[in-house]
């Protein structure tokens, strides 16, 4: 290519290059300006945030100081007031009518003060009551009632210089959540019934009771720590012990866990005294490490632990499914009498009557299954209702009912000519309302012969009692019922 032509081709490139270089300078300046501005804004935001944090910290410190001053004033006023009450009583210049009224006054002041204190001053107040022998005890003829008090998060720990010994302490229906009693000694049977004690720590404390029982009945002890605790005669009836820790716990004499919830409770390196025995009935042991502890499994093999009607750690049911919950369902109790034991009238209405008892006259093979008597539901008139009812309480197997996996099986033998048998199942709960029944209708037959009838139904989780009522009405044909049975089983 000739030189002049090459020069003409190079000039546009140089022009564009110069333009690009000329644009880069203001672009770089703009970028630099933006970066500097962003950095300055970031620094400004950091300074503002730091100022805010310092201000918030100052406010928190001021609020904490104000709270501490308030707590201290409330506590000091309480101590002065109660001390004056004690001194007045001792100097016999009291304005109280008697010791009962004085203790009632101290109780009212204690209840109102505790809700306005922090954990540290709650502990000081409890120690004040302890030192002045104002804590309730079943050993005293008259003592202060602390039911309903807020003692959550108090912390007491025995040391070489100060040893906490409680004699017959009664702290029932008290809030002891997150409280700690470390290396404390409870003598002459303590009572913590109905108290809320979630996450309580009882590490290395001891509970002695030689003439009675340490009571933790119906207490909420979820996540409670019983590490190296000594328990001698204790009842945990209906207690919530879910996720509780019984590592290295010493069990002595009789330990009762009837109705307890032991789900995911830890039992490890447990120590059993020579006089040990344990009862576990109607309990939920799902996920508990009970069967993994060598001492406990050995005690079971020796018959020292009674386990009945429980949900085992692996979730299986240890339930007597062959138990007939109906009493006198075969009519053989006082068969020749006019009364029908264990059954009641549904109502006292004149158009209702209990069935009578009839002697069965059949061959021996049939008698072996039906017995000697049956319920006679034959009505004298079409407007007469023959009916009877029986109530079945589930208190002994409440943990199975609460699992929502229980079902009932009602069966009976019938020999009815025509008509309809009505079976009503009423599930009573804690609700004050009368329950709607489950109704089952059993038709009679054209000819008289015995046949087995069976009814199955899931049981509501909150059922406490079931009423079974059987009724026949609007028919005068012969009707007999026998072998009424009611079983509770796990639904498939």
Counted residue by residue, the chain has a size of 492
Could you give the CA distance from residue 330 to residue 374 in angstroms, rounded to a whole number?
7
Q: Distance between terminal CA atoms of the chain?
A: 97
Q: For residue 33, what are its two tokens? A: 């300006």
pTM of the model: 0.79
Could you give the CA distance from residue 411 to residue 391 in angstroms, rounded to a whole number?
16
Among 428, 435, 487, 482, CA closest to 456: 487
Could you give the CA distance from residue 30 to residue 48 in angstroms, rounded to a whole number?
27
Q: For residue 127, what are its two tokens? A: 């120690």
SS3 16: helix
Going residue by residue through the chain (492 aa), what tens digit of pLDDT does each one get?
555 555 555 566 666 666 666 666 776 677 777 778 778 777 777 777 777 777 777 777 766 777 778 788 888 899 998 888 876 655 444 567 778 888 889 999 999 999 999 999 999 999 999 999 999 998 887 888 999 999 999 999 999 999 999 999 999 999 999 999 999 999 999 999 999 999 999 999 999 999 999 999 999 999 999 999 999 999 999 999 999 999 999 999 999 999 999 999 999 999 999 899 999 999 999 999 999 999 999 999 999 999 999 999 999 999 988 889 999 998 888 777 667 889 988 876 666 788 888 776 555 445 566 778 889 888 877 777 889 999 999 999 999 999 999 999 999 999 988 888 999 999 999 888 999 999 999 888 888 888 999 999 999 999 999 999 999 887 778 889 999 999 999 987
Q: DSSP letters along 223-247, please?
A: T-B-TT-EEEEEE-TT-B-TT-EEE
Could you give the CA distance from residue 246 to residue 319 in angstroms, rounded to a whole number?
26
β-pair type (250-256, 277-284):
parallel
User: Among all chains, which residue has been given the structure tokens 């100052």?
Assistant: 58
Q: For residue 473, what are its two tokens? A: 């009405």
Answer left, alpha or beta for residue 204, where phi above 0 means left and psi between -120 and 50 means alpha: left
R_g over Cα of the chain: 38
Could you give the CA distance from residue 487 to residue 326 in angstroms, rounded to a whole number?
8
């Amino acid at each position: 290519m000739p030189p002049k032509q090459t020069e003409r081709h190079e000039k546009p490139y140089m022009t564009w290059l110069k333009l690009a270089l000329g644009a880069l300078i203001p672009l770089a300046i703009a970028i630099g300006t933006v970066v500097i501005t962003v950095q300055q804004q970031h620094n400004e935001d950091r300074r503002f945030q730091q100022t805010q944090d310092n201000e918030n910290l100052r406010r928190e410190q001021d609020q904490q100081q104000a709270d501490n001053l308030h707590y201290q004033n409330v506590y000091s006023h309480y101590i002065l007031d109660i001390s004056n009450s004690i001194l007045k009583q001792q100097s016999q210049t009291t304005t109280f009518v008697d010791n009962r009224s004085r203790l009632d006054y101290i109780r009212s002041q204690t209840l109102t003060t505790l809700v306005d204190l922090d954990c540290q001053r709650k502990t000081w107040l409890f120690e004040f009551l302890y030192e002045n022998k104002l804590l309730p005890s079943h050993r005293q003829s008259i003592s202060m009632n602390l039911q309903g008090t807020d003692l959550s998060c108090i912390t007491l720990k025995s040391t070489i210089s100060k040893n906490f010994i409680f004699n017959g302490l009664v702290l029932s229906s008290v809030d002891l959540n997150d409280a700690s009693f470390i290396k404390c000694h409870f003598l002459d049977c303590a009572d913590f019934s109905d108290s809320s004690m979630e996450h309580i720590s009882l590490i290395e404390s001891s509970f002695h009771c030689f003439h009675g029982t340490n009571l933790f009945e119906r207490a909420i002890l979820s996540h409670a720590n019983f590490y190296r605790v000594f328990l001698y005669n204790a009842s945990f009836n209906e207690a919530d012990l879910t996720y509780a820790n019984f590592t290295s716990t010493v069990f002595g004499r009789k330990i009762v866990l009837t109705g307890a919830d032991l789900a995911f409770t830890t039992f490890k390196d447990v120590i059993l005294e020579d006089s040990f025995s344990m009862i576990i009935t109607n309990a939920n042991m799902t996920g508990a490490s009970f069967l993994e502890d060598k001492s406990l499994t050995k005690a079971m093999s020796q018959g020292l632990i009674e386990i009945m009607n429980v949900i085992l750690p692996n979730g299986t049911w240890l339930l007597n499914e062959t138990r007939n919950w109906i009493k006198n369902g075969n009519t053989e109790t006082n068969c020749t009498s006019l009364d029908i034991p264990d059954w009641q009238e549904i109502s006292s209405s004149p158009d209702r009557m209990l069935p009578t008892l009839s002697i069965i006259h059949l061959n021996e093979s049939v008698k072996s299954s039906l017995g000697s008597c049956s319920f006679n539901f034959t009505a004298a008139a079409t407007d007469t209702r023959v009916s009877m009812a029986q109530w079945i309480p589930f208190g002994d197997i409440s943990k199975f009912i609460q699992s929502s996996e229980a079902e009932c099986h009602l069966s009976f033998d019938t020999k009815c000519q025509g008509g309809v048998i009505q079976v009503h199942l009423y599930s009573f709960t804690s609700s004050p309302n009368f329950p709607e029944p489950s109704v089952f209708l059993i038709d009679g037959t054209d000819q008289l012969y015995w046949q087995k009838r069976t009814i199955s139904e899931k049981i509501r989780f909150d059922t406490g009692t079931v009423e079974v009522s059987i009724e026949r009405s609007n028919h005068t044909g012969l009707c007999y019922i026998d072998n009424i049975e009611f079983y509770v089983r796990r639904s498939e």
